[in-house]
Structure 1
Amino acid sequence: MNDAVPVSVIIVAAGLSRRMGGAKKEFMTLPGGGTVLSRAVEPFVGAVAIQHMVIAVPETDTAFYAAETEKALFASETNRAQLQHKVSFIAGGDTRQKSVHNALEFLAGQGARGVVLIHDGARPFVTGGIVRAVAEKARDSGAACPVIPSVDTLKEIAPDCSLNARPSLLASAAQVHAGIPADTVVVRHLDRASLAAVQTPQGFLFAPLLEAHRKATRNAKTYTDDTEIWSAYVKSSVYTVRGSPDNSKITYPKDVESIPNIGESLRSAPHGALKIGLGYDLHRLVTGRLLVLGGVVIPSAKGEAGHSDGDALLHAVADALLGAAALGDVGSYFPNGDAAWKGADSRDLLRAVLRDIQKARWSIGNIDCVVALEQPKLLPYRNAIRESVAETLEIDAARVFVKAKTGEGIGEVGRGEAVAAWATCLLSDAR
């Protein structure tokens, strides 16, 4: 490609990899050396003359993720040698669109112009040829993306609005779980020959793409990718170049195993270590305090006494994680006598534990909890508690469950004097 045309690169790595069990996929080590992120970036180094690279990292605890992302990027000596003074790490957003917009605004502040290439940090098998082809087509035509033919026959579906529609509870539950709306019918048969799957990197002229993102943000419009934003606001064609079936994105653990020449080496490798942890906590219930469980405030005449906010459930979860990883316990991490933790939000304490779990390269498989409380009933709040715990631990809520028990009038729990919580966790080696 003509080096006179400046090229900026945006790598999107702001997700929390919930579908990978909380182990950030960009940090995974791949057979043959390097991390998912380092392998995703390497082909850009030799294919185009990079003026600046921006990597969008999670907006939660940006400093931590920026440091870890830098380690993953420089697992490649090529990246370290060529990009050390050209790469910046910025906070992304809660959507891919927001992350790209943040990166574009950062680049605008750096005086970026020419072409910008946008690539998924979890797409490690792109080739230099694809990168170069996209950049050249974007330079010449405005916008470009790699595509591959659609393998499956695709159908357009819509809700069944017929009078004789008979919703099936069983079928609906299965469809919703699969991400398909319940009770749908095929409304259009699409011609597979005219369909293609879009990959990254996607390339654009910088200035019009930045303005398109600004308009989309002002209009509060959400789009699936940058080619859609370009088409909506620049109203210019997006040209295609040939992609590759190997240029796949890692989303689920099975995606790694299915990649050609990678899956076999993973299948023959020994399984990572598994660790199980058990945590327990008990707090007296007193008037004048909030009852907080799993980060959720429960309406109650009494709340937990404690040095922090007294969230017995989150303390038990933290204890289970620390025990499984052999890192300590809640008492040693957050001593009662330390003024720094007085009145602390236990979600912040659990996030601090999570960072150490991640630094030790452990991935959370699941969390199972029991709360013993005489009153009030927790069932109406269970889903909110599960969501809160999952959000704090950066995993999917399907990996967290909470059960409620009473003391049947026996002991300090049964007399309404205390709340107790137990938690178990499964950790797996994410290295």
Structure 2
Amino acid sequence: MTFHAIIVAGGSGTRTGGRKQWMPLGGKPVLDWSVEAFAEAGAAHIVVVVPEDDLDRARARYSTMARVVTGGADRAASVGNGIDALMTMAALDDVVMIHDAARPLLKPHHIKTLNAVLEVSRAAVLALPLTDSLKRGEDGRIVDAPSREGLWRAQTPQAFRLGDIAEAYSTWDGPAPTDEATAAAAAGIEVALAEGDMRLHKLTYPDDFALLEAFIAQEKSMTQIRIGQGFDAHRWGDGQSVWLCGVEIAHDKTLIGHSDADAGLHALTDALLGAVGLGDIGDHFPPTDPQWKGASSDRFLRHAVELIAEKGGEIVNVDVTLICERPKVKPHREAMRARVADILGIDLDRVSVKATTTEKMGFTGREEGLAAQAVCAVSMPL
């Protein structure tokens, strides 16, 4: 399902003592968490809405990941600006998820939950059932105790078809809606409830930062590091170029295989699958299946990345070693690192690509073929 994201970060942060979108949380700015979560989950486009005097800062930080636009006088106006920007990039029936940057502990699995509900609904919001007793007060005393039955605490992201929420905002008549679900319901759009998460708590007061830091520390303590290793080899044949770690290199031979025979990416795919106990590349992409004939190996690697994300895992680092006499890998090593980092969606300093020879010994030394081995570390929830 094609989906897009609008991240609203246009507030002044008066109750938190400053613009909370730039305050540090877990070692990085609050806004980073949401941008990275949507990017990791595969959002086609991300629109970040910030105050006008934050435009330069936000564009410098997120220009490769998102389009940054100016916010409005209130939250509803900021959302409207985000919708206007997205209308130039997306189809009306595409899904748009509207999210408050002040709920930074967004994870890909929250986004996946919404997408699943949208398979059968036009709109959905993450929400938690209300558990506290309700009281209505006047002059410092309780005057009523409304029932909490059937009441929910709405969170974000809130997800809609782009055309639906655009029309809902254009036809809204009244004070600014507090959230998108309110505008959608007023326009006659049925909004489904999806299971929320207490970790999507909203940063409103200074003490909220301490609460979310505690959640982050808890997550770190409830993970384990999994190690995976992979190995692959292909024989040389007639050709004019070879694919290694996602980079095409001019050469007087090519590697023979059912796909593009990129031994580096094959070894790395096996390492990642092995780290999370999901078999090997042949289980997922059988060489007997004609649809994978000549396929680009980045498809295999991306599949492994998606499976790890679905299990709540995070790739910590990867290390690939190519074993061959020729071609020389060093001139292409940085391009390979960059390509692998891009496919995996991780920082460049988490990717290592090296090469070695076998001093003319064995099948690689006789230039009968090329081999690759890979090691990875994956952080998995307990």
Task: Give me the TM-score of the superposition, normalised by structure 1.
Answer: 0.49
> For residue 269 of structure 2, what is the aligned residue in structure 1?
318
In 2, the alpha carbon distance for the partners of 1:376 and 1:281 equals 17
In 2, the alpha carbon distance for the partners of 1:268 and 1:377 equals 46
In 1, the alpha carbon distance for the partners of 2:250 and 2:110 equals 36
CA contact (8 A) 2:126 2:158 kept: no
Structure 2 stretches lacking a partner, 5+ long: 9-32, 43-74, 84-94, 100-107, 118-124, 131-149, 181-198
Distance 1:334 1:265, change over 3 A: closer
Q: Secondary structure at the match of 2:170?
A: coil
Q: How does 1:121-200 map onto structure 2 within 5 Å?
A: 124-126=200-202
> For residue 15 of structure 1, what is the aligned residue in structure 2?
35
> For residue 198 of structure 1, what is the aligned residue in structure 2?
none
> For residue 55 of structure 1, what is the aligned residue in structure 2?
97
Distance 1:23 1:276, change over 3 A: farther
In 1, the alpha carbon distance for the partners of 2:6 and 2:177 equals 7
- Asked if 1:112 is matched to 2:170, the reply is yes
> For residue 379 of structure 1, what is the aligned residue in structure 2?
330
- Asked if 1:261 is matched to 2:211, the reply is yes
- Alpha carbon RMSD of aligned pairs, Å? 4.4
CA contact (8 A) 1:290 1:300 kept: yes
In 2, the alpha carbon distance for the partners of 1:325 and 1:407 equals 31
- Asked if 1:331 is matched to 2:291, the reply is no
Q: Secondary structure at the match of 1:274?
A: strand
Q: 282, 302, 316: which one pairs with 1:365?
A: 316
Q: CA deviation at 1:424?
A: 0.5
In 2, the alpha carbon distance for the partners of 1:315 and 1:426 equals 16
Q: 280, 291, 296: which one pairs with 2:231?
A: 280
Q: How does 1:51-90 map onto structure 2 within 5 Å?
A: 54-55=96-97, 67-70=112-115, 74=126, 76-77=128-129, 87-88=158-159
Q: Secondary structure at the match of 1:404?
A: strand
- Asked if 1:350 is matched to 2:301, the reply is yes
In 2, the alpha carbon distance for the partners of 1:65 and 1:349 equals 24
CA contact (8 A) 1:378 1:404 kept: yes
Deviations 1:65-108 (A, max 9, x none): 95345579636347996879x94367xxxxxxxxxxxx7x8854
Aligned pairs, number: 251
Q: CA deviation at 1:366?
A: 0.4
Q: Secondary structure at the match of 1:374?
A: coil
CA contact (8 A) 1:74 1:80 kept: no
Distance 1:406 1:363, change over 3 A: same
Q: Secondary structure at the match of 2:268?
A: helix
In 2, the alpha carbon distance for the partners of 1:377 and 1:405 equals 9
How many percent of aligned residue pairs carry the same amino acid? 34
Deviations 1:101-152 (A, max 9, x none): xx7x885455536658899xxx95536xx6xxxxxxxxxxxxxxxxxxxxxx
Q: CA deviation at 1:11?
A: 3.6
Q: Secondary structure at the match of 1:328?
A: coil
Q: CA deviation at 1:301?
A: 1.0
Structure 1 stretches lacking a partner, 5+ long: 1-8, 25-46, 58-62, 91-102, 131-243, 248-258
Distance 1:75 1:411, change over 3 A: farther
Q: CA deviation at 1:373?
A: 1.6
Higher strand share: 2
CA contact (8 A) 1:273 1:429 kept: yes
Deviations 1:329-388 (A, max 9, x none): 011111110112111111011111111111111111100111112112111111110111
Deviations 1:2-42 (A, max 9, x none): xxxxxxx94468734599xx699xxxxxxxxxxxxxxxxxx
Q: CA deviation at 1:294?
A: 1.2
Q: Residue type of the partner of 1:55?
A: M
